[in-house]
């Protein structure tokens, strides 16, 4: 199932993506007297039961909104944590001349970095070297603490597309990457969350385009640490909560990996598309 958050009358609404368009869950669920979850947080909290309840709304004749009529919201709007994994594709580690890490390299972004599909991302005036990073993003489904790698997939609600936008000059100003990673709007996610039962996260084509030119093209099979390992590892040190997001790393092809004389950093007007097989395409324009 593909779920989406969109704006209606100033509020975030939950939708179900179908071939006909987006079903407004709150409208269709109204006759059920509150028994059906109407926000993504409620769906995640109910787990498989919540998904089954939404499936019951997908009947013939249900009115759908065409996607060109909606304004997207981030597919998760208020995660407790946004974790990211650095240098997690073998080819990306090689292009940046970094050693293959022994353990997942974890860093974070804050909620101010969240942005939606088709949202214009304002590039801050305090930096110049803006880079893209196409990433598969894990959406945590239930509280996870000290979980094994074998059990970790059962703690995942679903997956979405993300772009770990980075201001490289700020990121590399010191040994701490945070400043260059969590500028406003630097964590666009979406457009959809695909539930975990429909995805094999270890074998997905992943691609990034800038102004129609392919810059990254890989497969999640090139990850050094797969999704189950990442969830298990992080849960040994912090309790993961429902709705937490984990950006799982980016493939080779980032601007930072180019020779210095070939680097053309993102600028206002550039359109960046992140496409992940079986999930969709996340589109943002730099402003």
Any alpha helices (H) in the chain, and if so which ranges? 25-29, 40-46, 48-55, 90-95, 168-171, 178-181, 227-235
Question: Of 164, 270, 267, 254, which is closest to residue 212 (Cα–Cα)?
Answer: 270
Q: Averaged over 236-242, what is the pLDDT?
A: 98
The confidence score (pLDDT) of residue 23 equals: 96
The confidence score (pLDDT) of residue 33 equals: 64
**Cα–Cα dist 208/225, whole Å:** 21
**Cα–Cα dist 34/114, whole Å:** 29
Strands (E), the chain: 2-8, 11-18, 21-24, 71-72, 82-86, 105-109, 114-115, 120-121, 130-131, 134-140, 156-163, 166-167, 187-195, 205-210, 213-219, 245-247, 271-276, 280-286
What residue ranges do the domains of the chain occupy?
2-72, 82-286
DSSP designation for 151:
T
The CATH superfamily of 82-286 is Fumarylacetoacetase-like, C-terminal domain (3.90.850.10)
What mean pLDDT value characterizes the chain?
96
Q: Averaged over 54-61, what is the pLDDT?
A: 83
Q: Averaged over 230-251, what is the pLDDT?
A: 98
pLDDT tier at 108, thresholds 50, 70, 90: very high
**Cα–Cα dist 114/17, whole Å:** 21
Residue 273: alpha-carbon gap to chain centroid = 13
**Cα–Cα dist 141/148, whole Å:** 15
- Is residue 13 scored above 90 in pLDDT? yes
- The secondary structure of the chain in percent helix, strand, coil, rounded to multiples of 5, reads 25, 35, 45
Q: pLDDT tens-digit profile of 118-145?
A: 999 999 999 999 999 999 999 999 999 9
- Is residue 156 scored above 80 in pLDDT? yes
Task: Indicate the pTM of the whole model.
Answer: 0.97
Q: Averaged over 11-26, what is the pLDDT?
A: 95
Q: Averaged over 60-75, what is the pLDDT?
A: 91
The confidence score (pLDDT) of residue 186 equals: 98
The confidence score (pLDDT) of residue 95 equals: 87
Check: CB of residue 58 under 8 Å from CB of residue 16.
yes
Percent with pLDDT over 70 in the chain:
99
The confidence score (pLDDT) of residue 206 equals: 98
């Amino acid at each position: 199932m593909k779920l989406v958050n969109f704006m209606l009358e100033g509020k975030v609404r939950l939708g179900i993506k179908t071939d006909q368009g987006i079903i407004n869950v709150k409208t269709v669920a109204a006759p059920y007297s509150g028994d059906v979850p109407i926000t993504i947080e409620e769906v995640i909290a109910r787990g498989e039961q919540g998904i089954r309840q939404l499936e019951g709304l997908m009947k013939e004749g249900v009115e759908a909104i065409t996607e060109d009529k909606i304004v997207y919201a981030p597919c998760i709007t208020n995660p407790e944590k946004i974790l990211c994994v650095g240098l997690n594709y073998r080819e990306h580690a090689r292009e940046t001349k970094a050693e293959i890490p022994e353990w997942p390299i974890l860093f974070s972004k804050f909620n101010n970095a969240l942005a939606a599909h088709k949202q214009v991302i304002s590039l801050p005036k305090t930096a110049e070297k803006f880079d893209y990073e196409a990433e598969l993003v894990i959406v945590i489904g239930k509280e996870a603490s000290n979980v094994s790698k074998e059990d970790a997939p059962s703690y995942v609600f679903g997956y979405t597309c993300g772009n770990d936008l980075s201001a490289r000059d700020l990121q590399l100003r010191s040994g701490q990457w945070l400043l260059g990673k969590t500028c406003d709007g630097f964590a666009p996610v979406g457009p959809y969350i695909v539930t975990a039962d429909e995805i094999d996260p270890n074998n997905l084509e992943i691609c990034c385009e800038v102004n129609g030119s392919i810059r990254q093209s890989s497969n999640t099979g090139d990850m050094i640490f797969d999704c189950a390992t990442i969830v298990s590892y992080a849960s040994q040190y912090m309790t993961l909560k429902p709705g937490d997001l984990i950006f799982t790393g980016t493939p080779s092809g980032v601007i930072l990996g180019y020779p210095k004389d070939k680097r053309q950093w993102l600028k206002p007007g550039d359109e960046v598309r992140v496409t992940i097989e079986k999930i969709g395409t996340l589109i943002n324009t730099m402003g």
